[in-house]
């Protein structure tokens, strides 16, 4: 190793000096290897599809449903708008931190990969617990939540605002999950094209919603609410538990700014495209979100928004257009937004499960670590997510599934996001010479961590409006219990069964690390002088491999 923390090897470029060498980033040795052969997923996501991968999850169900719960927990329209700005700031700090993590550790899996690198001892425990809580259970819960909102909007379109049928909505939700399972199994390209289509549909739907809002502000709609009262701070609550819940719903609505980090193995030139995609996606959705909330307040009375539950957007369109178009067609389009959200989660979530299996984290890890060699799809991982999402969909009491799932799926996620960024700051001191294409200011990291821990602590303060079907703290306690139970699973699988050493990644480590360098780092590795780096003895070597060579440190 050199003083710069990188290994080097002779370049095989004919135009380079005989003494020129390519610096091999230090992190390759501790990153998960890239799959090889027919188990390697193709890099087919460009700038547009990568951006849509994030936008498709951010614009999921939250902007069409969460304003109800946010307004209930904060009390006034003015405060609701402020909370949406706070959510945008939180998401922006998260994006900045995850850009450094993703460009420094460019592998699929998101936090699972980051925590594994940052906290390798004891035997990747923290990464393992994240997988169980955030990778499998939270993703499955997110699928159930998105499918639930789809089902509720279809029921709204069938029977109107006063008609409810919880089990009918669940039936449509099961159809939604099954559709995306089959499509993701059949073809990766078809799944991405469908994701892009539904994401563009969501953007168009939000633009239409915003236009309706401008019509409301100009006084062109019937049954106009009191605009000054809607946008005021009258009725603002002062309960910290309520605000913690409100921020939860806001942050959930912005959730997805990290989605592309889970599928970096399929993004073309991830070090260059990840920042472009992530920044574009968040900038677009922030503008749409703020304008959409102005539209809600311009068209619907505060009392109607609070009573809308999961169909606030459908109520807006019904109020503005009425008839068949407003009461039947547009609610279906709102449901299609949630439908597309499920597709994006299915796609990225299956990659998290796949990478976990390849590390050896899952029972039957070799079974779940396989990609179909012809279809290029992780069939077994997809089926696992599908089955777990059905449990989350059907197990909670009818009518409360949405609130319960949001609380359950979000709680552990913020904890591990905070740990990932704390680990990023630790690496600044322990491995200061790591190749970091992007470097986030420390104050931004601290702000992100602070907001994460705020949501973790203050949700236990009793909110002003409590769920009717279960104790308000139940989903948070269940999350903690799942985390504790996963430690026992880790001990059995990793310590007793020694799964890390028998995993797919352990088997292909050398070839996979070479594949990772060639696939990601080669074009971004700096060319350096032999006087400044280690040299490689490659007498029986093709000058390309970063392995099977003796590295000798040369004095400067």
What would the pLDDT profile of 385-422 be if each residue is shown by its tens digit? Answer: 999 999 988 877 666 666 677 677 677 788 899 999 99
Please tell me the predicted confidence (pLDDT) of residue 14: 42
Checking 445-453 for CB contacts under 8 A at 24+ apart, the result is 445/93, 445/97, 445/421, 447/89, 447/93, 448/90, 448/93, 448/94, 448/97, 448/417, 448/418, 448/421, 449/418, 449/421, 449/422, 451/90, 451/93, 451/247, 452/414, 452/415, 452/417, 452/418, 453/414, 453/418
- Report whether 247 contacts 454 (CB < 8 A): yes
- Tell me if residue 508 falls in helix, strand or coil: coil
What pLDDT shows up at residue 141? 84
Instruction: Enumerate residue ranges in the chain where pLDDT < 70.
Output: 1-24, 310, 397-403, 406, 409, 464-465, 524-556
* pLDDT value for 260: 95
- Enumerate the domain spans of the chain: 49-515
Q: Which residue do the tokens 């169980």 mark?
A: 132
Alpha-carbon span 4 to 435, nearest angstrom: 9
What's residue 327's pLDDT? Answer: 72
What is residue 400's predicted lDDT score, i.e. its pLDDT? Answer: 62
Burial class (CB in 10 A: 0-12, 13-18, 19+), 480: middle
Pairing status of strand 527-528 against strand 21-24:
antiparallel
As given in the structure block, the two tokens for residue 195 are 């994701």
* CATH code for the part of the protein at 49-515: 1.20.1740.10
Per-residue pLDDT, 521 = 82
Helix (H, G, I), strand (E, B) or coil at 119: coil
Structure confidence at residue 310 (pLDDT): 62
- pLDDT for position 241: 76
Cα 232–236–242 angle (5° rounding)?
Answer: 140
- Per-residue confidence (pLDDT) for residue 522, from 0 to 100: 78
**In angstroms, rounded to a whole number, what is the distance separating the alpha carbons of residues 197 and 433?**
42
Position 401 scores a pLDDT of 62
Backbone dihedral angles phi then psi of residue 537, each to the nearest 5 degrees? -80, 105
The values of phi and psi at residue 471, to 5°, are -60, 140
Closest listed residue to residue 330, CA positions, set 196, 157, 210: 157
Q: H-type helices in 300-364, by residue range?
A: 302-307, 312-321, 323-324, 330-359
Give the per-residue pLDDT at 60: 76
Reduced DSSP (H G I as helix, E B as strand, rest coil) percent helix, strand, coil of the chain, to 5:
65, 5, 30
Q: What is the pLDDT of residue 399?
A: 60
């Amino acid at each position: 190793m050199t003083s710069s923390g990188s290994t080097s090897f002779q370049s095989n470029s004919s135009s380079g000096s005989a003494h020129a060498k390519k610096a091999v980033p230090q992190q390759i040795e501790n990153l998960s290897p890239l799959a090889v052969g027919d188990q390697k997923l193709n890099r087919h996501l460009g700038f547009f599809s990568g951006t849509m991968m994030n936008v498709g999850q951010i614009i999921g169900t939250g902007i069409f449903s969460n304003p109800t719960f946010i307004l209930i927990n904060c009390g006034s329209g003015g405060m609701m708008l402020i909370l949406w700005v706070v959510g945008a700031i939180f998401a922006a700090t998260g994006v900045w931190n995850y850009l450094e993590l993703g460009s420094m550790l460019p592998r699929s899996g998101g936090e699972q990969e980051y925590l594994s690198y940052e906290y390798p001892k004891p035997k990747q425990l923290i990464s393992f617990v994240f997988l169980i809580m955030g990778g499998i259970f939270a993703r499955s819960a997110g699928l159930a939540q998105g499918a639930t909102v789809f089902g509720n909007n279809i029921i709204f379109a069938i029977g109107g605002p006063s008609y409810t049928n919880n089990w009918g909505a669940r039936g449509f939700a099961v159809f939604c999950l099954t559709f995306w399972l089959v499509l993701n199994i059949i073809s990766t390209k078809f799944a991405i094209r469908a994701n892009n289509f539904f994401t563009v549909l969501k953007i168009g739907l939000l633009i239409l919603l915003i236009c309706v809002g401008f019509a409301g502000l100009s006084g062109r709609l019937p049954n106009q609410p009191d605009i000054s009262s809607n946008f005021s701070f009258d009725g603002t609550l002062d309960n910290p538990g309520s605000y913690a819940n409100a921020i939860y719903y806001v942050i959930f609505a912005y959730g997805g700014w990290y989605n592309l980090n889970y599928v970096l193995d399929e993004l073309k030139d991830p070090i260059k495209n990840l920042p472009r995609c992530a920044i574009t996606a968040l900038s677009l959705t922030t503008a749409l979100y703020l304008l959409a909330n102005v539209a809600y307040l311009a068209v619907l009375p505060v009392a109607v928004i609070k009573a809308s539950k999961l169909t606030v957007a459908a109520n807006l369109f019904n109020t503005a257009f009425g008839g068949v178009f407003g009461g039947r067609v547009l609610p279906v389009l709102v449901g299609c937004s949630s439908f597309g959200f499920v597709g994006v989660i299915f796609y990225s979530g299956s990659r998290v499960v796949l990478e976990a299996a390849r590390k050896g984290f899952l029972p039957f890890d070799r079974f779940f670590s396989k990609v179909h060699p012809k279809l290029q799809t992780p069939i077994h991982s997809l089926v696992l997510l599908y089955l777990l999402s059905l449990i989350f969909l059907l197990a909670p009491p009818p009518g409360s599934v949405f609130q319960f799932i949001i609380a359950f799926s979000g709680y552990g996620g913020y904890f591990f996001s905070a740990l990932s960024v704390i680990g990023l700051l630790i690496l600044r001191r322990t491995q200061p010479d790591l190749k970091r294409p992007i470097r986030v200011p420390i104050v931004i990291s601290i702000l992100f961590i602070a907001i994460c821990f705020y949501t973790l602590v203050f949700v236990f303060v009793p909110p002003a409006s409590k769920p009717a079907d279960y104790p308000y703290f139940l989903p948070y306690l269940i999350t903690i219990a799942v985390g504790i139970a996963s430690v026992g699973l880790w001990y059995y699988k990793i310590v007793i069964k020694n799964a890390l050493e028998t995993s797919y990644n352990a088997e292909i480590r050398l070839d996979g690390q070479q594949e990772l360098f060639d696939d990601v780092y080669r074009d971004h590795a700096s060319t350096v002088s032999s006087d400044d780096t280690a040299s490689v003895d490659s007498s029986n070597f093709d000058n390309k491999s970063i392995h099977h060579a003796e590295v000798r440190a040369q004095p400067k």
